[in-house]
Structures are given as C-alpha cells and as structure tokens.
Structure 1
Amino acid sequence: MTTMSNARLPQEILDYIVDFLHNEPWWLKRCCLVAKSWVPRTRKHIFNKIDIASLDDLEAWWKVFPDPNSSPGHYARTLFFLSVRSIFSGVAGGCSLVRPFSNVVRLVISCAGEFPTFTSSRFLELICSLPLLEDVELEADGIREDGDDGPVFQPRASPPLTGCLALNLADGIEPVTRGLLALPDGIHFRQFLCTWRYEEEHQWVTALVERCSHTLESVQIDRKEHSSAASIDLSSATKLREVTFWFDYEAGWITNALKTILPEHRDLQEILICVYPSRDSSADDPVDSKKVVGEEVYERWMDLDDLLVQLWESHAVRTKLLVERKAGKVYRIVTGLLPEMMERGIIQPETYAEHNNIF
C-alpha cells in the first residue's frame, strides 16, 4: 500500500505547477530546493534569459559552471549583452563566449555609449556562434568596418534568422548590413525595425527589405532625418502585412515609400503613422496646420492624404494615426493635414500608450 509519505505526483503534473511560476524568480529558486525532480523544470525558467552586463558577470558564470556540457546555459533562449566591449576585450572570439548557450534564439545587444565600438566581423562571429538564432536586436553607437583588429571572420554557415531584426546604430547601419547580406545561408526575418538617421542609408534599408522579401511581414522605420528626397523601396516585399512609420511633421519620404506598394501587396492590412513632433505643441489655442508645417511640407501631406485614400480603396488597408498622449495641439495639427482621411473616417487616431505594437 502506498503511504502519503511515499506518494509522488506524476512528473508532468509537477512540471505544469512549476510553469505557473515562470515569471516568479523568487519562487522558482525555492522550488529548486524541494526535490531533485523539480530542478530541471525550474532551471528552464530561471535561465531562460541570461543578462551579461560586464566581463565580471561572464567570469562569475564560468566559475560557477565551468563545464559547458553540464551548464544550465543550454536552457537559455535569450542572451542579453549590456557591455559588448568589455566582454569582447576579455574573450578571444565569440565561439568560446557562447558555447554554453547553444539554444539561444534571441540575441539582444544594448551598448550605446561604449567606445570603442566593436567590428562587424566580431558581431557576425557572435551571431554565427548561435546555431538556433532567430531574433537579433542591436543598439549601439556604431559598428566599425574590419581593420587591423585581426582576421576577418568568414562564416561557413549561419543561423535561421527567421524572427525580428532591430537596428539602432548612431553611426549608421552600413557595416552590419554588409555583413548580414553576406551570410552564406541568407536572412529570413519576418519583422524589421530600423532607426534610420542618414540620407544615404535608404539604400541599405532597401537592401535588407529586398533580401527578406520572401518572408518579411512587418516593417517599422523611425526616421531621424527629415529630408524627403530619399526613401525606402517596399516593392519587393509583397508579403507585408503591416508598415509603421515614426517621424516628425515631414511626410514626403513616407509618401515616396508607400508609392512603391504594388497591387501584388494583397497581404497589407495596416499602416501606422506615428508622429512625435519636436516643435512646441503644448498650447491649446486653435491652430492652422498649413501655417505650422509650412507650404511645402503641407503639400506633401496632401499627397500622403490622397495616397492613403487610394490604398484604402484598392486594398481596404486600415490606417492608424498615433500621437503623443495629452498632445491636443499635435492631434489637431496632424488631423488637419489628413482632411480626406478624417472626413471619410478611414483613419483611427490613438495614443502611444493605447497601441502596444510599436518600438
């Protein structure tokens, strides 16, 4: 007869219980102390995301888990670097660094403000050392072209790269884009987020869109410069379902980008227009939209208004307008720049806080 002291729940029930605590690290650590049978499932959640803020963090990891084969690093799905410079200066090559984290599918590098920046070759070495990698998010002051930092990394194979690519590089995206485009197995991202700062970068943004044209479903562009002369070409990405534009009042480049939308873009369902004007918009007095933005910019808004109506009529594309919370003057300015859209009730105004599918 089975006594209560010897009774055991089936392992799948124990795992199910532990899964409820996946966002409770304090309780997960205590679950590890209950019994050996609880340890694997709790480690799956405890080590799901690994944050490495400095070389000291990395050395501490190796000290506690010296054997990569038995390291809990194989539970990690997200690898988050906050100080790439210090890590790369203390570790010879990406392969030795990430060997315990072979099951990582999301790589996040956030090292803005660090100097000197690392090279594109070292960045690609890190990416290619993660065989299951799908998502890449990179925020840095820049990535340098390869120089006298050692031999240029030549990958023989590359990971799937089927998720999200997010680039926010103060010095421009050219070096990292060149490397990504040269990967032997290609890139297959479904989502592309980019902060675009320089006029000449439009060709690299377009190149990334073209290379992922067979998989790309969502594009989000944050334009930091306001010239309307250059824009991105979306004609190749016929599987797009959503396009998001962040910008100040200058809308000419958005019109140019949307003009590349072809009849083949039948999957396109939503266009998000996100306005974050740098000009003072705190006053509540009545505004004349044309006077605020100027004659030339106003005409480009009229072009955008006409184009959005055409896209709605031909594709039934839904358009949303996102503005700052409590920015009443901004709302009146922008809606005044899209008179046809507003009159037809096509556009749906929201605030950033109300919409959660943004940067």
Structure 2
Amino acid sequence: MSPPCVGTMTLPTLPPEILDFIVDHLHDDPITLKSCCLTSKSLFVRSRRHLFACVTFDPLRSSVRSWMKAFPDPSNSPAHYARSLCIRDSRVVSANACTWIRPFCHVQELSVNTFGWGGPNEISLVQLHGLSPTIKSLHLYTGVHTPIPEIIGLICSFPLLKDLSLHSTRESDPSGWATPQTSPKFTGSLKLNGENRGIIRRLLELPGGLHFSKIRVRCRVEDVDSRTIVDLVSKCSNTLKSLYLRYHHLATSRAPPPLDLSNAMKLKHLNFRWGRTHVRWITMTLQTVQSKDLRRITVFLRNILFAPAEETILEWHELDRLLVQLWISHSIRPRILYKDVVGGIVSRLLPELTMKGFTRHRGERQ
C-alpha cells in the first residue's frame, strides 16, 4: 500500500478544548487576543470573552458613544461577555443609552463613579437598577447630586450582592424615604469612605439585615455618626471576622463611644489606624473582646507630636498592659506601627510592647 500523496493530506485540527486552553492562557494579552479574533472563527468567540471581560465607560477615553458607534445593534454587542463594568460616563444613565446598557446582564462586579458629572439636577441611577442579576460586588463613588434613596434602591436591586463599597463626598437625603421590601444578604465586605452617615442609617433599616464578615471604615470623625458605627458593628457581630477603622483628625478631648465586640466571636483581625489617636477609646474597645479566634491586633500610630500629660501617659500604659495581657493569655499578637512621631515617644508610652519587640517604625522591614 503506497503512502498517500502529500498534496492530498489534510492537516489535523485541534480539539476545541485545546483551542480554548490556548486562548485562556492569553487572557491578559489584549494585543494577541485581537489578533486571534482576526485569525480564525474558532478563536473568535473565546477571544472576545476575554477582551470584553472588563468594560469601562469613561468620557475621556472610552465613552458610551464610542460603544454605540462600534456596536450599533445592542443584541449583537459583546456586552454579555462582560463580568466587570466600570461607569464614569454620565451619559450611560441617560434614556438614550438604556438600550445599549441593558445587554450587560452577566456582570458580577459593578463600579459607578459620579464624581465630576456636574449639573444642578440630581443624578438618577434608575437605569442601572437590576442591570445584572449576577452582581456580587458593587462600588459606588458618589457626589452631592446623588440622593440616598437612589443609592439604596440600586443596592437592593441586586439580590446576590455580597460586597459593598461606598465613597461619598457629600450626602443628599431627601424626605419621602420608603424602606425596600427586600434586600441582599450582604455576607462579604463593607467599605466606607467619606461622608456616609445617612447611607449607614438606611442600611441598618433594611429588612434582610446585615451579615458582613469584613468592615473597613475610613473617614474623618466629623463625617460619620459614631453611634451609627457602633450600631453597624453590633449588627454584624455574629458574622464579623475582620474590622478596620481609620479615623482622621480625632479630637483628643472628645472620643466616640467605644465599640462592643463581646458578641463578635468570629473576629480574627482587628486594625486601628488613627491620626491623633484617642488611646482610651482603643483600650475600652479591646476590653470587650471575647473572640477566641482573634490572632492579631494592629494599631497604627501617626502624628504623635505632643508632650503627653501624666494622665495621658497613664492611659497609654493601660493600653500597653492590656495588649501584653492579651498576648500572654490568649496568644493574640499585638503589632504597633508608627510614623511621623517624636523620637523616643513610643518607647515611653508603650514600654512593655517596645521591650518585647511589638513596636516597629513603618519604614522598617516587617
């Protein structure tokens, strides 16, 4: 039997699984992925899935008008490939763009930034309500023209939402508030930055409750209602595993009420990062800790540029003894980081922790 003629041989084709593996390996190489789209139909769909996995609408670089021009037929656009959507273009929430934005129905992470949208009228987010039933992470960066009911309405339109990040420069809380009938489970992380006192109060009123495992608060003391923060931590105490508090410009003569962590039995990490630290507040909060899972307490000190009074020194020494006691009795390792402080002041305020090597300058190797 003679061998087949070379000119009549057909080249074997790779299985679809192998082609998909090759394209997936190029997920972070957009230039090569674009070449794959032009090379073969068998690579086209898989390449598009990675090219349009993350979509950003920005008025200066990739506006929604450019998207509408590139994909005039919304039903055939690659919007359904998107898993992450970032909106910085105010025209996305306009009625004209509604047809083009609705096909983003498989998004899992949504980011909306209304800073700089301008205009005297309030910004409506109604067009984004229920955009994707699969959204699990929502990041909102809002300004003065975004009313709180609009924000809460958007949050409650995603039933699978776990992680929530809110950054507000100034709140707008008009009258006529109606509590939604349903709300997400909120089992992931909550990040608060800026002025969010009204939004936190509305979140506490939601019927489904709050079950965050991680809470991160970063704000100025005058921008938050300290009692609301206490209520927020208490509301999530049964599920809370990580707590991070960063306050700025804390007046030494006026401290917020201490947190009650006695019911946070799953707490593993506790982090305080304050300018002009009110040490008594930290001590009173730590005295309520009951979690046997807690492994590390981190306190970041900054701008301790004052000559401490005798009463203040005693308060620091009380914190010093408490942290050492927690380390000895419960194996909770304290970590004191400091920056921009007067030389020698940390060892004077926290002598035992300094002697045992638990204090460290932020610039040193950890």
Q: TM-score, normalised by structure 2?
A: 0.76
Structure with the bigger RCO (C-alpha within 8 Å, sep 6+) is 1
One-letter code aligned to 2:13: A
Structure 1: unaligned runs, 5 residues or longer: 280-290
Aligned partner of 1:213 in structure 2 is 237
Matched, 1:226 2:251: yes
Following superposition of structure 1 onto structure 2, how do residues 80-229 of structure 1 map, counting pairs within 5 Å? 80-83=111-114, 86=117, 92-94=124-126, 96-111=127-142, 114=143, 116-147=144-175, 152-170=177-195, 173-198=196-221, 201-224=225-248, 225-227=250-252, 229=255
Partner of 2:348: 336
Q: Which has the larger radius of gyration?
A: 2
Name the structure 2 match of 1:283: none
Q: Which residue of 1 aligns with 2:89?
A: none
Contact 1:84 1:109 in 2 (8 A): no
Pair 1:318-2:326 in alignment:
no
Contact 1:206–1:234 at 8 Å: present in 2 too? no
Q: 1:159, 1:3 → 2: CA distance? A: 60
Which of 71, 74, 84 is matched with 1:66 structurally?
74
Deviation string for 1:181-214 (max 9, x for gaps)?
1222222211100124337722111111111122
| Aligned residues between the structures | 328
Which secondary structure state, in structure 2, belongs to the residue aligned with residue 109 of structure 1?
strand
CA shift in 2, pair 1:97/1:311, >3 Å: same
Residue 309 of structure 1, CA deviation? 1.1
Partners of 1:108 and 1:46 in 2: CA distance:
22
Residues in 2 aligned to 1:54 and 1:235: alpha-carbon distance in whole angstroms:
48
Please list the CA deviations of residues 278-306 of structure 1 after superposition, one character each: whole Å capped at 9, or x if unmatched.
75xxxxxxxxxxx6344333222111101
2:14 to 8, 14, 29: 8
Give the unaligned 5+ runs of structure 2.
81-103
| Residue 266 in structure 1 maps to residue 292 in structure 2 | yes
Residue 27 of structure 2 is matched in structure 1 by 22
Greater helix share, 1 or 2?
Answer: 1
Question: Once the 2 structures are TM-superposed, how far is the Cα of residue 155 of structure 1 from its aligned partner?
Answer: 2.2
Please say if residues 189 and 215 of structure 2, whose CA atoms lie closer than 8 Å, have aligned partners that are also in contact.
yes
CA displacement at 1:30 relative to structure 2: 3.7
Letter in 1 for 2:303: P
CA distance in 1, matches of 2:208, 2:281: 32
Assess, with a 3 A threshold, how the Cα gap between structure 1 residues 20 and 167 changes in structure 2: closer, same or farther.
same
Q: Deviations over 1:243-294 (max 9, x none)?
A: 00011343222112111112xx101111111123275xxxxxxxxxxx6344
SS at match of 1:8: coil
1:27-73 per-residue CA deviation (whole Å, 9 max, x = no partner) reads 44444434444445444444444434469945555664634997323
Q: Conserved in 1, the CA contact under 8 Å of 2:52 and 2:78?
A: no
Secondary structure at the counterpart of residue 307 of structure 2: helix
Measured after TM superposition, the shift of residue 179 of structure 1 is 1.5
Q: In structure 2, what is the Cα distance between the partners aligned to 1:300 and 1:238?
A: 27
Tell me, in whole angstroms, the C-alpha distance in 1 between the residues paired with 2:349 and 2:189: 33
Which residue of the partner structure matches residue 286 of structure 1?
Answer: none
The amino acid across from 2:226 in the alignment is H
- The answer for the alignment partner of 2:83 in structure 1 is none
**TM-score under structure 1 length normalisation:** 0.77
User: CA distance change for structure 1 residues 238 and 50 in 2, over 3 Å: closer, same or farther?
Assistant: farther
Compute the displacement of 1:84 (Å): 6.0
CA distance in 2, matches of 1:275, 1:167: 21
| SS of corresponding position for 1:237 | coil
Instruction: Kindly indicate whether the alpha-carbon contact (under 8 Å) linking 2:124 and 2:150 is maintained by their aligned counterparts in 1.
Output: no
Letter paired with 2:190: L
SS of alignment partner, residue 26 of structure 2: coil
Amino acid at match of 2:292: R
Distance 1:54 1:218, change over 3 A: farther
**Structure 2 equivalent of residue 351 of structure 1:** 362
Tell me if structure 2 keeps the 8 A contact 1:215–1:239. yes
Aligned AA (1:349): R
Q: Distance in 1 between matches of 2:255 and 2:133?
A: 44
* SS in structure 2 of the partner of residue 266 of structure 1: coil
| Shift, 1:217, TM fit | 0.5
How far, CA to CA, are the matches of 2:152 and 2:77 in structure 1? 24
